């Protein structure tokens, strides 16, 4: 134990930087409304004592340390204690065990065990109480019954403050409730009539530093009979069992932090008495009692108050749950409705918006992100801002503790300053990612609600004074009403809303999984039937060709016979039969080719699209020299990845059609549209009516009589479509800007395609 530690302990030196780490559980001193002994629980000898031993025990501290307890309290009491220890009935909560009279004062001994040390606190047994002990207990019963009947939260807290004030006779009893940001509000108050009300006032979170909160969560009662007490040191400072200063977390007499006493003095308070309200393991609030003159609350009365604090803690969680039971039920119902509709009708995620996602909870707007697209309803920020918020959400999740499912804030601009420009719509944000990668996201928004907060004194003015231990933070000295207009804040998200969003998220994820299972099943079935179809087409076309060849040969013989017989009629018929067979053969040939294309099975390689187009143009020019088409190609035709043979066939078909379906000299433009991320071929031909624009891609579909425009089998575009799809692309038709002709667009590789 170094000198500086002991020094700072003894002098209660708290500095600006350490006040949130102040070891308030080991102050090294006690308040003088009692006397403290630390004992070795094994042999019941005194190992530490407070330096006011003379006054209380009639012995100098040096004469107490090292003594057996028996010598101080008598044989009988020591046996009582030994039995209690054997029965394990002494725990961290101090328990009254016996009284003894070492001098002129009768003392009550309260004992507890903590960290292997037995702590005995002796208090005056004869402090006058305004009511008898029996009365106090029957009062407690009555109060508990009254509390149980209180309808709402506010009423409950009002009753609690009034009753505790009656019981203790203190000047002011406040129910102090913590907000989410750990600041506190006086939620209910009972006070002496002439006192100024504190009801509704807010106190910043720093007013109660973290170590104090940690202790309040563990203990139920904290007495401070006088803020201007003279502390009494523990001798020796270091406990011989633990080799550390005595841990007084659970001790009633524990010395108070100078920050705390200064704070109370600045408020003009002379005495404080605090009860903890702990709901579901969390410090919900405090029953903060102030008195304007010193006052000791005797331990029997403290025990009754403790009982009330415990009852209140239990009941508060039930009341809070009740308060929002209707809203909770509505949330659950609408979540269920949403999910049922999605499942039953196999809807896509974005449709949640239309199904009423915004009405799901009390929000001003909602935005849903899927596949890079936003779907919104109600008041939401613009797309750019949504994107920025989504990025921030993504980042926040990547640094959030594992298992974080939801992110919410009611002051977005404090965490993402860029969002201050859209605080009207997005001061509150509740973000729910649907997929691990965060590319599916639901964001609920709440607009700004300007609030006036009534602070007890300006929470931002911090006074610092020099002290031997460094700079010390002085509690503020003015508690006069200080109003703040709070901007950029929305109504906070209720715990039950966050919980409902969390559950909705799980439900949506289930639906998404179910739907994707469905889709992959359909895909498997489709693939199987496509394969069957291909196999069927291949077999039939293959098998049909043989008899067709036979028919062809017989027609040929018939024609020769007819020519020899000079039977013109039969000759014509046989010629027509030959023509039909040829046509049928070419149809079968196309079908065979189409089915041979198969599905998907090629290894993509880099393809120079420019080269393919040039080759296609050469082939066309050679085969249809008479048409003299004017074909213009953009300089920058980006390369692709895929199968070069199939892509050549694709170009050949599209450019071929552009030449073919034209009554003028064909003028054809070939290029790449950056905005659409698609290759295009536009012509000045006969155009395609909008109603036919999807039919043309069906196999054997032609819009013209078989002889018009040079004839054809109607398979070309079906093949083109198949090839585009094999390259994960899309093909569609538009009318060129000139209004004349047709333009075919196609994308390849969907991830960078026009969606």
Question: Of 272 and 715, which has the nearer Cβ to ligand ADP?
Answer: 715
Cα–Cα distance between 456 and 443 in angstroms, integer?
A: 36
Minimum distance from residue 738 beta carbon to ligand ADP (Å):
14
> Interface with ligand ADP includes 655 (CB under 6 A)?
no
User: Could you say which DSSP state residue 254 is in?
Assistant: B
CA torsion sign for 184, 186, 187, 190 is: positive
**Nearest residue to ligand ADP, scored by beta-carbon proximity:** 712
716 binds ligand ADP (CB under 6 A): yes
Q: Are 369 and 354 in contact (CB under 8 A)?
A: no
Phi, psi (rounded to 5 degrees) for 260: -70, -45
Q: Please identify, among the stretches 11-19, 225-233, 632-640, 680-688, the one whose residues bind ligand ADP according to the rule CB under 6 A.
A: 680-688
Query: Which residue(s) pair with 234 in the sheet?
Result: 50
Q: Identify which of residues 507 and 703 has a Cβ nearer to ligand ADP in the complex.
A: 703
Over its C-alpha atoms, the chain yields an Rg (Å, rounded) of 44
Instruction: Determine which residue in the list 450, 565, 704, 755 makes contact with ligand ADP, applying CB under 6 A.
Output: 704
Task: In angstroms, give the least distance from the CB of 695 to ligand ADP.
Answer: 8
Nearer to ligand ADP, 32 or 741 (CB): 741
717 lies in the binding site for ligand ADP (CB under 6 A): yes
For CA atoms 443, 444, 448, 454, the dihedral sign is negative
Q: Does 620 bind ligand ADP (CB under 6 A)?
A: no
Window of 63-71, 328-336, 656-664, 745-753 that interacts with ligand ADP by CB under 6 A? 656-664
The span of 67-75, 219-227, 273-281, 697-705 binding ligand ADP (CB under 6 A) equals: 697-705
Strand, helix or coil for residue 682? strand
Whether the CB-CB separation of 661 and 743 falls below 8 Å is answered with no
Q: State which of residues 153, 343, 619, 703 lies at the interface with ligand ADP (CB under 6 A).
A: 703
Is residue 28 within the footprint of ligand ADP (CB under 6 A)?
Answer: no
Region from 98-106, 174-182, 620-628, 695-703 binding ligand ADP, contact rule CB under 6 A: 695-703
**Number of residues this chain uses to bind ligand ADP (CB under 6 A):** 21
**Distance in angstroms (rounded) separating the CA atoms of residues 701 and 46:** 105
Q: How far separated are the first and last CA of the chain, in Å rounded?
A: 71
- Candidates 98-106, 198-206, 369-377, 714-722: pick the segment binding ligand ADP (CB under 6 A): 714-722
Q: Which of 684, 713, 726, 747 binds ligand ADP (CB under 6 A)?
A: 713
Q: Distance of CA 536 to CAs 382, 490, 583, Å?
A: 53, 64, 21
Residue in 29, 367, 683, 731 binding ligand ADP, rule: CB under 6 A: 683
- Residue closer to ligand ADP by CB (options 392, 697) is 697
Between 482 and 744, whose beta carbon lies closer to ligand ADP? 744
* Closest to 571 measured CA to CA, from 581, 580, 579, 561: 561
User: Nearer to ligand ADP by C-beta: 278 or 631?
Assistant: 631
| DSSP single-letter state for residue 475 | P
Instruction: Look at the chain and count its residues.
Output: 755
Task: Determine, following the binding rule CB under 6 A, whether residue 685 of this chain makes contact with ligand ADP.
Answer: yes
Nearest CA among 599, 673, 610, 615 for reference residue 639: 610
Burial of 546 (0-12, 13-18, 19+ CB in 10 A): exposed
Residue 649 engages ligand ADP in binding (rule: CB under 6 A): no
Q: How far apart are CA 447 and CA 429, in angstroms?
A: 9
Query: Which parts of 623-697 are beta strand (E)?
Result: 630-633, 640-642, 667-673, 678-682
Q: How far is the CB of 747 from ligand ADP (least distance, A)?
A: 18
629 lines the binding site for ligand ADP (CB under 6 A) = no
CB of 698 vs ligand ADP, minimal distance in Å:
8
Q: The tokens of 405 are what? A: 């499912």
Tokens of residue 753, six digits: 């395609």
Identity of the residue, 408 or 722, whose beta carbon is nearer to ligand ADP in the bound complex: 722
- For β-strands 667-673 and 630-633, DSSP reports them as parallel
Q: Which is nearer to ligand ADP, 519 or 689 (CB)?
A: 689
Judged by CB under 6 A, does residue 657 bind ligand ADP? yes
* Residue the block writes with tokens 């070795």: 40
* CB-based contact 476:464 (threshold 8 Å): no
Q: Does 661 bind ligand ADP (CB under 6 A)?
A: yes
In the complex, least distance from residue 742 CB atom to ligand ADP, rounded to whole angstroms: 4
Residues in contact with ligand ADP by CB under 6 A are 653, 657-658, 661, 683, 685-686, 688, 696, 701-704, 712-718, 742
């Amino acid at each position: 134990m170094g000198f500086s530690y002991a020094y700072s302990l003894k002098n209660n030196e708290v500095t600006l930087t350490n006040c949130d780490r102040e070891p308030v559980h080991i102050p090294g001193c006690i308040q003088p409304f009692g006397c403290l002994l630390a004992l070795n629980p094994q042999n019941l000898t005194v190992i530490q004592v407070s330096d006011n031993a003379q006054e209380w025990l009639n012995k100098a501290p040096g004469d107490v340390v090292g003594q057996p307890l028996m010598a101080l309290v008598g044989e009988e009491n020591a046996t009582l204690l030994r039995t209690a220890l054997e029965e394990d009935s002494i725990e961290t909560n101090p328990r009254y065990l016996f009284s003894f009279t070492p001098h002129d004062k009768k003392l009550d001994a309260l004992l507890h065990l903590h960290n292997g040390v037995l702590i005995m606190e002796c208090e005056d047994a004869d402090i006058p109480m305004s009511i008898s002990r029996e009365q106090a207990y029957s009062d407690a019963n009555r109060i508990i019954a009254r509390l149980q009947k209180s309808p709402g939260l506010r009423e409950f807290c009002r009753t609690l403050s009034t009753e505790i004030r009656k019981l203790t006779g203190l000047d002011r009893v406040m129910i102090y409730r913590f907000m989410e940001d750990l600041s506190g509000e006086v939620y209910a108050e009972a006070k002496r009539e002439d006192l100024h009300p504190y009801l509704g006032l807010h106190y910043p979170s720093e007013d109660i530093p973290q170590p104090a909160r940690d202790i309040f969560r563990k203990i139920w009662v904290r007495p401070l009979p006088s803020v201007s007490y003279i502390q009494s040191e523990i001798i020796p400072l270091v406990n011989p069992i633990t080799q550390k200063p005595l841990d007084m977390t659970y001790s009633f007499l524990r010395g108070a932090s100078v920050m705390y006493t200064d704070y109370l003095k600045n408020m003009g308070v002379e005495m404080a008495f605090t009860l903890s309200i702990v709901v579901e393991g969390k410090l919900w609030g405090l029953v903060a009692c102030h008195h304007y003159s010193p006052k000791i609350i005797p331990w029997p009365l403290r025990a009754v108050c403790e009982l009330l604090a415990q009852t209140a803690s239990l009941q508060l969680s039930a009341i809070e749950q009740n308060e929002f039971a209707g809203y909770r039920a509505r949330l659950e119902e609408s979540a269920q409705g949403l999910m049922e509709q999605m499942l039953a009708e196999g809807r896509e995620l974005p449709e949640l918006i239309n199904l009423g996602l915004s009405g799901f909870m009390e929000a001003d707007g909602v935005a849903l992100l899927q596949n890079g697209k936003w779907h919104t309803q109600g008041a939401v920020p613009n797309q750019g801002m949504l994107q920025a918020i989504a990025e921030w959400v993504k980042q926040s999740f990547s640094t959030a503790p594992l298992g974080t499912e939801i992110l919410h804030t009611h002051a977005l601009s404090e965490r993402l300053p860029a969002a201050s420009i859209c605080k009207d719509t997005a001061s509150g944000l509740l973000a729910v990612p649907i997929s691990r990668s965060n590319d599916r996201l639901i964001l609920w928004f709440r607009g700004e609600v300007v609030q006036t907060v009534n602070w007890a004194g300006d929470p931002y003015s911090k006074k610092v004074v020099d002290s031997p231990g460094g700079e010390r933070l002085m509690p503020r000295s003015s508690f006069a009403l200080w109003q703040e207009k709070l901007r950029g804040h929305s109504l906070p998200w209720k715990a039950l809303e966050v919980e409902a969003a969390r559950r909705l998220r799980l439900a949506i994820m289930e639906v998404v999984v179910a739907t994707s299972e469905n889709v992959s099943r359909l895909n498997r079935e489709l693939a199987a039937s496509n394969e069957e179809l291909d196999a069927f087409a291949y077999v039939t076309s293959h098998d049909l060709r043989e008899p067709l060849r036979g028919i062809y040969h017989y027609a040929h013989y018939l024609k020769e016979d007819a020519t020899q017989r000079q039977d013109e009629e039969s000759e014509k018929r046989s010629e027509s039969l030959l023509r039909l067979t040829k046509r049928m053969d070419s149809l079968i040939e196309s079908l065979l080719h189409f089915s041979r294309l198969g599905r998907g099975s090629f290894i993509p390689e880099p393809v120079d699209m420019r080269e393919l187009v040039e080759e296609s143009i050469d082939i066309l020019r050679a085969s249809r020299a008479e048409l003299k088409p004017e074909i213009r190609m953009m300089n920058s035709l980006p390369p692709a990845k895929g199968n070069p043979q199939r892509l050549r066939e694709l170009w050949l078909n599209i450019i071929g059609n552009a030449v073919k379906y034209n009554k003028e000299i064909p003028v054809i433009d070939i290029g790449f549209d950056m905005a659409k991320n698609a290759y295009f071929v536009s012509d000045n031909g006969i155009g395609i009516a909008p109603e036919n624009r999807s039919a043309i891609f069906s196999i054997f579909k032609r819009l013209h009589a078989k002889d018009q425009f040079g004839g054809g089998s109607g398979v070309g575009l079906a093949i083109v479509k198949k090839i585009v799809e094999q390259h994960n692309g899309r093909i569609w038709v538009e009318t060129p800007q000139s209004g004349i002709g047709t333009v075919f667009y196609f994308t390849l590789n969907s991830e960078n395609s026009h969606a």
